[in-house]
């Protein structure tokens, strides 16, 4: 789904109460120039129409507000631009809200967590249990991240199944939440297993319905190990309520999540299966941001001595 953020700026000025901005249509030639420029500067996919709206007085002296809409079928978004009074300059600015702590941008209340519950640095991962890149990220977070930052971080997973390409990801997210309703430990055991054994769930025939049956079986087995209420768990697994997962996905979309894995480390977004060093650097910045000195980096391992002839072409033997 094509999305373009709303771009606009805010000038620190007080407008007279009761004033109404005067709207003026943008002439056809200028409209076409704006459309060409916008299509050139933005990755507007073929099939999207670009519409330039009426210009209206802006809070920014010397410029008018001009909305530009992008539409295809039911998908529509609008970006605000600034157009100079002489119609020779188009400006794109974006407004950011600094009044809120970025660390509080992602909700994670009542989600199972790992690490120190009182830690000031929170790593929130939007996860897909069928995603191989998420499985790779999972192995980097656990136990490596928690071992390195003992007591200094907590990790929370949010659901973001890529349902268009992963046929059993939604089912897995629901089943994991059924376990989480009764036990955080059961939830993490299930997530650990799925990320390590995706091939078992896929099966040799890669049948989505068979995979869902396997997911339910694994969830019930974990419920038995964790001594959960079997009847309650079975009811939840049978119901397959997508609402909580869809809510998590919607939240992710508002935060700019467009793939998995996607980390938010005290609000700083880190996308993709990045190397551990990238994650550690972000955690270090978050710790410094809350006044905590990060732990020193682990000592570099000594490289084994290389024999003098290794890596070199052997000298010819002289007779």
User: What are the pLDDT digits (tens) for 20-43?
Assistant: 334 466 788 999 999 999 988 887
Mean pLDDT score of the chain: 87
User: What are the pLDDT digits (tens) for 216-237?
Assistant: 999 999 999 999 999 999 999 9
Of all residues in the chain, the percent with pLDDT exceeding 70 is 86
The pLDDT, as a whole number, for residue 313 is 42
What's the CA gap between 121 and 115, in Å, rounded?
A: 10
Coil, helix or strand for 255?
Answer: coil
User: What are the pLDDT digits (tens) for 292-303?
Assistant: 999 998 776 655
The residue that leads in pLDDT, 147 or 75, is: 147
Angle at 156 between CA 153 and CA 157, to 5 degrees: 145
What's the CA gap between 123 and 133, in Å, rounded?
A: 17
Token pair, residue 283, equals 């955690």
The dotted CATH code for 102-289 is 3.40.30.10
pLDDT-derived band at 132 (thresholds 50, 70, 90) equals very high
The pLDDT, as a whole number, for residue 302 is 58
| Residues 64-76, mean pLDDT to the nearest whole number | 91
Phi, psi (deg, nearest 5) at residue 218: -65, -40
The whole model's pTM is what?
A: 0.72
Give Cβ neighbours of residue 115 (< 8 Å, ≥ 6 apart).
146, 149, 151, 153, 154, 155
Specify the residue for token string 């007080």. 14
Specify the residue for token string 């020193």. 296
The pLDDT, as a whole number, for residue 5 is 42
Angle at 56 between CA 55 and CA 61, to 5 degrees: 110
The pLDDT, as a whole number, for residue 23 is 43
Domain ranges for the chain? 23-91, 102-289
pLDDT-derived band at 310 (thresholds 50, 70, 90) equals very low
pLDDT-derived band at 9 (thresholds 50, 70, 90) equals very low
| Residues 39-68, mean pLDDT to the nearest whole number | 90
Question: CATH 3.30.70: does it fit domain 23-91?
Answer: no
């Amino acid at each position: 789904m094509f999305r373009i953020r709303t771009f606009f700026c805010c000038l620190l000025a007080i407008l007279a109460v009761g004033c109404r901005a005067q709207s003026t249509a943008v002439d056809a030639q200028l409209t076409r120039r704006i459309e060409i420029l916008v299509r050139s500067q933005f990755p507007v996919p073929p099939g999207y129409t670009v519409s330039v709206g009426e210009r209206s007085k802006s809070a920014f002296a010397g410029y008018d507000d001009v909305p530009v809409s992008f539409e295809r079928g039911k998908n529509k978004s609008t970006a605000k631009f600034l157009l100079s009074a002489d119609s020779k300059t188009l400006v794109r600015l974006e407004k950011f809200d600094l009044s809120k702590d970025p660390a509080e941008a992602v909700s994670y209340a009542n989600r199972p967590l790992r690490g120190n519950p009182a830690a000031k640095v929170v790593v929130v991962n939007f996860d897909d249990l069928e995603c191989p890149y998420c499985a790779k990220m999972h192995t980097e977070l656990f136990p490596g991240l928690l071992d390195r930052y003992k007591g200094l971080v907590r990790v929370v997973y949010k659901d973001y199944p890529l349902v268009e390409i992963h046929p059993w990801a939604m089912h897995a997210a629901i089943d994991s939440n059924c376990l989480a309703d009764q036990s955080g430990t059961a939830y993490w055991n299930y997530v650990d297993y799925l990320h390590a054994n995706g091939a078992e769930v896929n099966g040799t025939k890669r049948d989505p319905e068979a995979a869902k049956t396997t997911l339910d079986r694994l969830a019930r087995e974990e419920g038995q190990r964790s001594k959960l209420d079997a009847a309650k768990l079975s009811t939840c697994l049978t119901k397959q309520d997508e609402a909580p997962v869809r809510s998590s996905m919607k939240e992710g979309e508002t935060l700019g999540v467009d793939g998995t894995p996607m980390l938010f480390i005290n609000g700083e977004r880190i996308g993709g299966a990045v190397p551990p060093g990238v994650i550690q650097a972000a955690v270090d910045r978050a710790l410094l941001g809350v006044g905590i000195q990060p732990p020193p980096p682990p000592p570099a391992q000594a490289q084994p001595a290389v024999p003098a002839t290794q890596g070199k072409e052997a000298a010819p033997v002289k007779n």
